[in-house]
């Protein structure tokens, strides 16, 4: 009875917060943009145009805009309140699914239960809280995509191949960032799961075309490609809030962009635009090559699946995304938990030192919000890309752990596909 009362009380708080969020909605918000995109999709209007009062640019694929039609079934404020309420419920769900995935059992027969640090999950929640709250404050879709990814991974671990593929393909069709998780499924998954990716991906391309009609549907794909082409041709958003690899490299070497007159100068040394572009290109190629080559090596050598593969996939997506705002980094809840759950006793001296440095950077990244330490430190952490370097270190640590696995009693693994 006590638990039921607590649950009812928490739901009541969620309802109150959702009502407050609904009242604050209006033109110019992220949710308003998604609501408008859904209305455009339904009415047959172009999806990738700049309209005053609508936050842009629209970087969502046509499939996402098709789903956003669900928002338009309700008036803007009511739809925003309902979505905010769902976002609140997704936080404990994502925590639970992250824990379930990280604490997955060993290849049978297990030699012993996996050692778990009791403080790992609470600390992971604390260090990722600002990203979760940022997603809430903007009423963004990132938590829903994250939960869909976790659902897909859990389905795969339960031998539900088509359900796993559908979840991961759907997540990628909403936001392209989970593409590396899809690559993980294709390269490391069972054959049935890997083969399911193609027809499901094709369905996500075709369904919007079917609803919008062949002419408009193909135009949507063309407009979407041209919307993203600028990033592929070297356009970089250098704002201190953008925590992807491209922005980190450019802030390190280049002055603020002319269209960002209020942005501070974070250069450590000065290099030409061509040099910055070359450095980023080499770094991006290294991340992609290292990730894919590691997955192929694991597959060829029939190495059991581990959660570090998932961490690497989440991190690669954020590092190479066209834009990575803090609200996008809700997946660090999972990544932080994976690393905080490591049994330090099984690490070598050098590995323990590296783990300590990584933990320090995780703390700085997670606790550097403006409300805690003020505007100056907040800008320094963002401008000097502390979060990006933390993700790079975690990405490298993930690959290292995959190539040099811990003894079976100290890492969460599943049977190889």
Q: How far apart are CA 138 and CA 132, in angstroms?
A: 10
- pLDDT confidence of residue 232: 60
From 27-41, 122-136, 252-266, the region with the lowest mean pLDDT: 252-266
Residue 259 buriedness (CB in 10 A; 0-12 / 13-18 / 19+): exposed
pLDDT tier for residue 127 given thresholds of 50, 70 and 90: very high
- pLDDT confidence of residue 191: 92
Q: For 254, how many CA atoms within 13 A lie in the half-sphere containing its CB?
A: 24
Which sign does the torsion angle of CA 61, 64, 69, 72 carry? negative
- The 10s digit of each residue's pLDDT in 151-169 is 999 999 889 999 999 999 9
DSSP state of 103: T
- The 10s digit of each residue's pLDDT in 339-371 is 998 877 777 777 788 888 888 999 988 887 777
Per-residue pLDDT at 110 exceeds 80: no
The pair of structure tokens assigned to 381 is: 């952490």
From 324-333, 381-390, 404-413, the region with the lowest mean pLDDT: 404-413
- pLDDT confidence of residue 412: 43
- Domain chopping of the chain, boundaries: 103-139+239-417
- pLDDT confidence of residue 116: 54
Mean pLDDT, the chain, integer: 87
Polymer length in residues for the chain: 417
Check residues 402 and 114 and name the one with the higher pLDDT: 402
Give the pTM: 0.91
Q: How far apart are CA 216 and CA 218, in angstroms?
A: 6
The pair of structure tokens assigned to 188 is: 């490391």
- The 10s digit of each residue's pLDDT in 382-391 is 889 999 999 9
Q: How far apart are CA 284 and CA 322, in angstroms?
A: 12
Instruction: Read off the pLDDT of each residue in 269-273 and give the average, rounded to a whole number.
Output: 89
Which residues have C-beta within 8 Å of that of residue 163, sequence separation ≥ 6?
Answer: 152, 155
Q: For the chain, give the percent of residues with pLDDT over 70.
A: 92
């Amino acid at each position: 009875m006590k638990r039921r009362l607590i649950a009812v009380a928490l739901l009541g708080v969620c309802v109150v917060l959702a009502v407050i969020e609904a009242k604050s909605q209006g033109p110019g918000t992220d949710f308003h943009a998604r609501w408008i995109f859904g209305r455009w999709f339904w009415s047959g209007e172009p999806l990738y145009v700049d309209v005053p009062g609508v936050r842009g640019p629209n970087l969502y694929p046509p499939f996402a805009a098709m789903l956003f039609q669900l928002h338009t079934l309700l008036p803007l404020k009511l739809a925003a309140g309902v979505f905010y309420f769902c976002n609140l419920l997704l936080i404990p769900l994502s925590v639970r699914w992250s824990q379930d995935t990280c604490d997955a059992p060993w290849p049978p027969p297990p030699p012993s239960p996996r050692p778990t640090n009791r403080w790992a999950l609470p600390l992971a929640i604390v260090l990722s809280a600002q990203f979760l709250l940022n997603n809430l404050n903007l009423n963004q879709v990132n938590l829903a995509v994250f939960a869909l990814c976790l659902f897909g991974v859990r389905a795969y671990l339960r031998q539900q191949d088509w359900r796993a593929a559908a979840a991961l393909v759907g997540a990628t069709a909403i936001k392209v960032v989970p593409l590396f998780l899809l690559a993980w499924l294709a390269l490391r998954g069972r054959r049935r799961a890997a083969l399911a990716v193609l027809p499901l991906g094709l369905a996500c391309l075709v369904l919007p075309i079917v609803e919008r009609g062949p002419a408009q549907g193909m135009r949507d794909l063309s407009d979407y490609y041209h919307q993203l082409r600028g990033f592929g041709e070297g356009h970089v958003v250098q704002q201190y809030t953008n925590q992807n690899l491209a922005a980190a490299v450019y802030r390190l070497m280049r002055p603020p962009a002319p269209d960002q007159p209020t942005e501070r100068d974070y250069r450590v040394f000065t290099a030409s635009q061509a040099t910055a572009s070359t450095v980023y290109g080499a770094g991006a190629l290294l991340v992609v090559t290292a990730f894919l080559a590691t997955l192929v090596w694991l597959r060829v050598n029939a190495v059991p699946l581990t959660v570090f593969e998932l961490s690497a996939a989440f991190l690669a997506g954020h590092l190479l995304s066209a834009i990575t705002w803090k609200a996008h980094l809700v997946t660090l809840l999972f990544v932080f938990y994976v690393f905080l759950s490591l049994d330090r006793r099984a690490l070598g001296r050098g590995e323990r030192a590296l783990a300590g440095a990584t933990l320090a950077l995780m703390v700085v990244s997670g606790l550097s919000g403006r409300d805690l330490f003020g505007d100056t430190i907040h800008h320094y952490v963002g401008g000097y890309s502390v979060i990006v370097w933390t993700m790079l270190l975690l990405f490298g640590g993930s690959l290292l752990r995959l190539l040099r696995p811990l003894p079976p009693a100290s890492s969460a693994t599943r049977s190889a596909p």
